[in-house]
Amino acid sequence: MQSGRERTKMTHPGTERDEAQVRESKRSRQAARIAEAASAGVKTLLVKIFLLAIVDAISVYALFVLLLRADWVVFGAVLLVTLIVNWIYFSKQKLPAKYLTPGLIFLLIFQIFVVGYSGYIAFTNYGTGHNSTKQDAISALIVSSQQRVPDSATYKLTVVEQLGNYSFLVTEPDGTVSLGGTDAPLRTVTDATLDDTGKAVALPGYTSLKFNDIVANQEKIAALSVPLSDDPNDGTLRTPDGSKAYLYLSDLVYDEAAGTMTDTKTNTVYTDNGKTGSFVAADGTELLPGWKVEVGLANFAKAFGSESIRGPLISVTLWTFAFAFLSVLTTFGLGLFLAIVFNDMRMRGRNVYRVVLILPYAFPAFLSALVWAGMLNPQFGFVNQVLFGGADIPWLTNEWLAKFSIIFVNLWLGFPYMFLVCTGALQSIPDEIQEAATVDGARPFQVFRLIKLPLLLVSVAPLLISSFAFNFNNFNLIYMLTNGGPRDVTAGVNVGSTDILISMVYKVAFVGANRDYGLASAFSIIIFLLVALVSVISFKQTKALEELN
């Protein structure tokens, strides 16, 4: 479009040109606007308004919920994005933005933002026992050490429900009727319906639960604990049967002024030391759950400082590089060899071979790993039982054999891709080059080594790099084939000898009872840096970015 306009400009000679140009561009702009308006029919406009209305409706709902929760940062972000989206789509210009915005929003949130967020988590102690805020941790601690107060008063109880949430409608021994829920302390209500015994049984706006409702939701109701007042130290009401409630008091008492937690049984005082995000006694005993705090470089110090983690981290990093490199080397080697073998016009049935050879590539990768895990099973697997006549070779449980098995299975998974790629690249090399070399007296191997291979490498080098990057994070293969094992029992984290960095991150963060998101994110950051380093080097080598226009 632009070049077209330039060409028209060129046809006007001399001084007339500038004047004509101004007029021309003005008129052409006008024309463009008319054309645009004429081409955009009513239907298109309606579709556009309809889609924007949906987006805005969702945003308004989100803003409303965020307003109620007083979550101002997210509120601001949602408001800003909504305004920008509306501005872009109602503007007459900003055409590129109209096409880019939908994809960019997802990219920014789920690819760019999460990277920054990983960086933040790496500096916190987020994980099992440190999941939430200090306030939540205090209530959780108090609730968890609650015990029924012996010989305390019995409250007559009706469990009521509103919008799916249960509340307690209690009649105190002195006849006062109050209502409260898990998040709302008891407050006195006056408009409740009483039965003959003076027990409150219903409240306008709430549904009273019948006996079978209570039985059906027994677990939920037994887990309810309604605070008596705003002060968590006053205790809570709980019910064992849905018809009577008792006062429960905690052994732990929180002193808000001093910021300490006191165990009333042993008189131990636990203080918040401001570092670990938990209450710690003088002798070092920690009360869990704690809460999330920023811990600075502690996770990195743990990763590099403590011997039981540094050792595995280094060996896992080396194996990740070795695995990625060997995977590319073996798959490319076999793929190239097969491409040369089958790239002969005299050979019949090449298409049949090709279809069969790409079957491993078409088979879903996670299933392949699981199937091979079955075939390589030491006791019952096909390889040991049939191929090796009942031998007991620990394919997946010996450190080095497991590494070999992983490379071997990845060869099975990956060679078809390299075969396809190399076949394509070989066929795109002109025959004349080969003929010229043959005329000059080159032997077939020389033709291959000195002419075809360099030409081939030029076109497949970027693919080899992306294959390396892919295998660097080939989680599925490792996790499904060996689960990272055999496990290294001396390591301070759950890690095995075939684990690569990404599977280590997953195990530290999500496998087992003790999840450590902070440490896992610190490992993620290390992977990011390594991948960035590899990309910088490889892009510099291939100059792939220079071709970008």
Q: 150 or 349: whose CB is closer to another protein?
A: 349
**Token reading at 342:** 């089958």
362 binds another protein (CB under 8 A): yes
Report angle CA 301, 305, 307 to the nearest 5 degrees.
145
Q: Where are the alpha helices (H) located in 40-161, listed in sequence order? A: 42-69, 72-90, 95-107, 114-121, 134-144
CB atoms within 10 A of CB 298: 19
**Helical segments of 343-427, H only:** 350-357, 359-362, 365-375, 382, 399-427
Closest CA to 493 of 475, 511, 480: 511
50 contributes a contact to another protein by CB under 8 A: no
Q: How far is the CB of 258 from another protein (least distance, A)?
A: 31
Segment interacting with another protein, rule: CB under 8 A, options 112-120, 137-145, 160-168, 272-280: 112-120
Q: Does 406 bind another protein (CB under 8 A)?
A: no
How would you classify the pairing of strands 226-227 and 236-238?
antiparallel
**Residue 475 C-beta: closest distance to another protein, Å:** 5
Residue 28 CB, nearest approach to another protein (Å): 12
**By CB under 8 A, which span of 164-172, 199-207, 312-320, 380-388 interacts with another protein?**
380-388
CB of 13 to another protein, least distance (A): 25
Residue 441, by phi and psi: left (phi above 0), alpha (psi -120 to 50) or beta?
left
Task: Tell me which residues in 439-478 interact with another protein (CB under 8 A).
Answer: 459, 462-463, 466-467, 469-470, 473, 475-476
Peptide bond into 232 cis (omega under 30): no
Q: Considering only residues 53, 60, 80, 114, which one is a binding residue for another protein as defined by CB under 8 A? A: 114
For the CB of residue 276, give the shortest distance to another protein in the complex, in Å: 20
Stretch that binds another protein, among 111-119, 159-167, 210-218, 239-247 (CB under 8 A): 111-119
- Virtual CA dihedral for 115, 116, 119, 125, nearest 10 degrees? -100
Within 10 A of 375 (CB to CB), how many other CB atoms are there? 16
Structure token pair of residue 9: 């400009």
Binding flag, residue 266, another protein (CB under 8 A): no
Query: Applying CB under 8 A, does 342 fall inside the site for another protein?
Result: yes
Stretch near another protein under the rule CB under 8 A, chosen from 8-16, 39-47, 193-201, 220-228 = 39-47
- Partnered with residue 159 across adjacent β-strands are 168
Residue 263 has phi, psi (to 5 degrees) of -85, 115
Which one of the spans 108-116, 189-197, 222-230, 233-241 is the region binding another protein (CB under 8 A)? Answer: 108-116
- The rounded distance, in Å, linking the Cα atoms of 385 and 383 is 6
Check if the beta carbon of residue 485 is closer than 8 Å to that of residue 378. Answer: no
Looking at the Cβ atoms of 73 and 282, the one nearer to another protein is 73
Any contact of residue 528 with another protein (CB under 8 A)? Answer: yes
Structure tokens at 459: 């076109």
Report the site for another protein in 65-94 (rule: CB under 8 A). Answer: 65-66, 69, 71, 74
By beta-carbon proximity to another protein, the closer residue of 281 and 350 is: 350
For another protein, the binding residue among 209, 502, 504, 507 (CB under 8 A) is: 502
Selected from 246, 321, 363, 448, the binder of another protein by CB under 8 A is: 363
C-beta of 45 vs 453, nearer to another protein: 45
- Classify residue 234 by its DSSP letter: G
Q: Is 495 in the site for another protein (CB under 8 A)?
A: no
